[in-house]
Structure 1
Amino acid sequence: MPSIPCHVISGFLGSGKTTLIRHLLDHKPAAERWAVLINEFGEAGIDQAMLPDASDIVVQALPGGCLCCQLAVTLKMTLVQLIRRHRPDRVLIEPSGLGHPAGLLEVLQDQDLAPVLDVRAMITLLDPRRLSDSRYLENQTFRDQLAMADALVVSKTDLATPQQLRSADEWLERRWPPLQWVEWVTGGKLPMERVLGASSRVGDIPSRAVDHPLPDLAMAGAPMLTLDMDVMPKPGETRVQRRTALGYHTLGLRWHPAQRFDLQHLSSALEALPEGCRIKAVIHAGQGWRILNNGDGPLKAEGTPWRRDSRIEILWPEDLVLDSEALVARFQACRTGVIED
């Protein structure tokens, strides 16, 4: 039986991976069911709240580590369960921005998953502004992600200066081996044909699956995974999770969906964080549900269909000193009460 096309969308923190995937989901073929597996380094798992909610789209989050190492076994189990339950026609995987793609590709191409997944050319995103920032150029994971790319999306071109765009173009001319293709995009608007027409990393396998073989794994018959993120906080409860690894700290907070927040107060508290903090949040505000994100620079708020719970996640480098207890207290002070809809 044909294997399922599988696309890895990689890139460092803040490169625009989730925005690109959202664009692809909004324009995917109507006849296809897609599964999206999102891995976030932090514990809160915000990115899934940024994706559309539809019957032909299945989104599974794996927060709290990297698919290439800590979550490798969980990744394999989750993929098998997703395929058995939902029979997707295509799979997209967004690894953590701090994850090394080599380990992920090894998992996807091992003897258990190779018969199931047709791993296509790996698409890597690059924010051209990062090529002029020594913090990124000196980061080995950032460099390795670019080195392993099969195809490249130069993202957020509208935010880069003309000099930064020229520098990115010069870097691409020097890169060896050459990439299969390069797209310069804004707003994650990658042409759909780049995904639908992507070649296999190994071999030439048909692009459409009607039925799919499954690996003979003992874990394949196990019940669907229940992660800590699937356990709902009680009304009035705050769940706090901290993590330190790969040179970064994360602070994640979750609340019951009935917990409401003062949007202006919370936005001010988040904007007061020092430069270098990566901020993501999805909250139940008085004006409705909102996603807050500083991936493009200034903190932005937009509506979301997410209604599951409120979440905040802050990620910052180890050389930046922050008092996580004080941050928790600051965010707690932005609550306005528990109100059932």
Structure 2
Amino acid sequence: MNSEQTTTLPVHLVTGLLGSGKTTALLNFLKQKPAGENWGLLINEFGALDIDALSLQSHTDDQVISIAGGCICCSAQANLHQGINRLLDPQNQAIDRLWIEPTGLGHPAKIIDLVKQASFRRPLDLQSVICIATPKQLTTERWKKSAVMRDLVTLADQVILNKIDQASAKEVKQSQTLLASLYPPKQAVVTTEYSHISLSDVMQPRPPRPLSLLQSNQHELPQLVNEEQKSDNDALLSRHLQYSDRDRLYAIGWQFPAKRIFSRSDLKKWFAENGRFFQRGKGVLRCGLEWQRVNWSDQHVDFNDIAWRGDSRLELIIADSQTFSADDERIHSLEQQLIETSRFRE
């Protein structure tokens, strides 16, 4: 195998609902393509006609493959694997970057799993996942009704709020407010018209999303002293501790590798045993094969399915009535008990 076949290939996933502007975004990216780069574009058409792929092919000499007649998130996933390997065929011109545009009808979680876990002719490196939506699509009412929309936005690192010229200021603000309320937070939210997006903003590795400081309903946490401790073992990626002297509150957050799998029943016991210390808590944790959105409030914990393919994380606000501190043995005991509710899977 030559060096071109062993070099990691950057992969970009451009998702969004039907009519959001995904293909137009790819056309704009092609106009910004660095000189000397060769791209591969894999377009998923739910119907039998490859209209979007033909549109792209007419604007570029790069390799464009269409997968029609099904969604590459599910029924046509085998075709996705084959399509990527076709683009990586050593008999073809070597590509420097791969773009995947799924149909706007599918859930992209399985695509992310395939890119990160399957074996290909060349190792793949998933970059920031972007989701393109319009303010008229991204409404509170549709958010409640559309599982597809929730999955697309949740799985995205960056959200492009497109076609703002066709929306009122109120609609744009409502969409931005909805996006700002999400957990985990987005890496970036960009407003634009005609899918005008800077290529440099999306051509970057997929970074771990930072922990966001929880805000309780009754307290603000200004003037925080931040302490972060990192671990090199498989149990814990990082620990963040912040303290508000004015409100006598601690915000504690943990991040765990995606290969660490938590037991929901054990987590419930952990919350039941330690919840008297918590004012508020939320997180996303891998439980079994899927991820769960965890919410602790009023001495009760809820678990709900969430489309998420990042690290596991949990954040808590703890009252200072128990005089917790960074060196307090109770913090370390709490952490160790949390780790013991999980196992590590290769």
TM tier, smaller: 0.5 to 0.7
Q: Give the match for residue 40 of structure 1.
A: 45
Amino acid of the residue matched to residue 25 of structure 1? L
Deviation at 1:198, TM superposition (A): 3.9
Give the conservation status (yes or no) of the 8 Å contact 1:6–1:120: yes
Of 120, 140, 147, 1:113 maps to 120
Give the conservation status (yes or no) of the 8 Å contact 2:129–2:206: no
Q: Give the match for residue 101 of structure 2.
A: 94
Counterpart-to-counterpart distance in 2, 1:78 and 1:14: 24
Counterpart-to-counterpart distance in 1, 2:84 and 2:179: 34
Amino acid of the residue matched to residue 193 of structure 2? T
Of 168, 174, 181, 1:174 maps to 181
Of 55, 65, 71, 2:70 maps to 65
Q: Tell me the alpha carbon deviations over residues 244-303 of structure 1, each in whole angstroms, 9 at most, x when there is no partner.
A: xxxxxxxxxxxxxxxxxxxxxxxxxxxxxxxxxxxxxxxxxxxxxxxxxxxxxxxxxxxx
Please give the residue correspondences for 1:191-202 in structure 2 after superposition, counting only pairs within 5 Å.
Answer: 191-199=198-206
Q: Tell me the alpha carbon deviations over residues 116-164 of structure 1, each in whole angstroms, 9 at most, x when there is no partner.
A: 2111121111111113374564121111111111111111111111110
How many corresponding residue pairs?
202
Amino acid of the residue matched to residue 176 of structure 2? D
Deviation at 1:175, TM superposition (A): 1.3
TM-score normalised by the chain length of structure 1:
0.56
Of 121, 124, 129, 1:122 maps to 129
Counterpart-to-counterpart distance in 2, 1:55 and 1:18: 13
Q: Give the match for residue 132 of structure 1.
A: 139
Deviation at 1:180, TM superposition (A): 1.1
Counterpart-to-counterpart distance in 2, 1:197 and 1:111: 22
Tell me the secondary structure at the aligned position of residue 86 of structure 1.
coil
Tell me the secondary structure at the aligned position of residue 171 of structure 1.
helix
Give the conservation status (yes or no) of the 8 Å contact 1:34–1:56: no
Change (3 A) 1:60 1:182: same
Deviation at 1:181, TM superposition (A): 1.3
1:162 aligns with 2:161: no
Q: Give the match for residue 253 of structure 2.
A: none
Amino acid of the residue matched to residue 49 of structure 2? A
Amino acid of the residue matched to residue 20 of structure 2? S
Q: Give the match for residue 15 of structure 1.
A: 20
Change (3 A) 1:49 1:81: closer
Amino acid of the residue matched to residue 198 of structure 2? P
Tell me the secondary structure at the aligned position of residue 49 of structure 2.
coil
Deviation at 1:17, TM superposition (A): 0.4
Q: Give the match for residue 28 of structure 1.
A: 33
Deviation at 1:56, TM superposition (A): 4.3
Tell me the secondary structure at the aligned position of residue 129 of structure 1.
coil
1:152 aligns with 2:159: yes
Tell me the secondary structure at the aligned position of residue 179 of structure 2.
helix
Larger gyration radius, structure 1 or structure 2: 2
Please give the residue correspondences for 1:301-320 in structure 2 after superposition, counting only pairs within 5 Å.
Answer: none
Q: Tell me the alpha carbon deviations over residues 215-250 of structure 1, each in whole angstroms, 9 at most, x when there is no partner.
A: xxxxxxxxxxxxxxxxxxxxxxxxxxxxxxxxxxxx
Change (3 A) 1:6 1:128: same
Amino acid of the residue matched to residue 75 of structure 1? L
Amino acid of the residue matched to residue 38 of structure 2? R
Which structure has the higher relative contact order (CA within 8 Å, separation 6+)?
A: 1
Q: Give the match for residue 149 of structure 2.
A: 142
Give the conservation status (yes or no) of the 8 Å contact 1:22–1:52: no
Give the conservation status (yes or no) of the 8 Å contact 1:107–1:113: no
Counterpart-to-counterpart distance in 2, 1:8 and 1:194: 14
Deviation at 1:196, TM superposition (A): 2.2
Amino acid of the residue matched to residue 100 of structure 1? H
Instruction: Report runs of 4+ in structure 1 exceeding 6 Å deviation.
Output: none
**Structure 2 unaligned spans of 5+:** 1-5, 210-346
Give the conservation status (yes or no) of the 8 Å contact 1:66–1:95: yes
Amino acid of the residue matched to residue 129 of structure 1? K
Counterpart-to-counterpart distance in 2, 1:55 and 1:170: 38
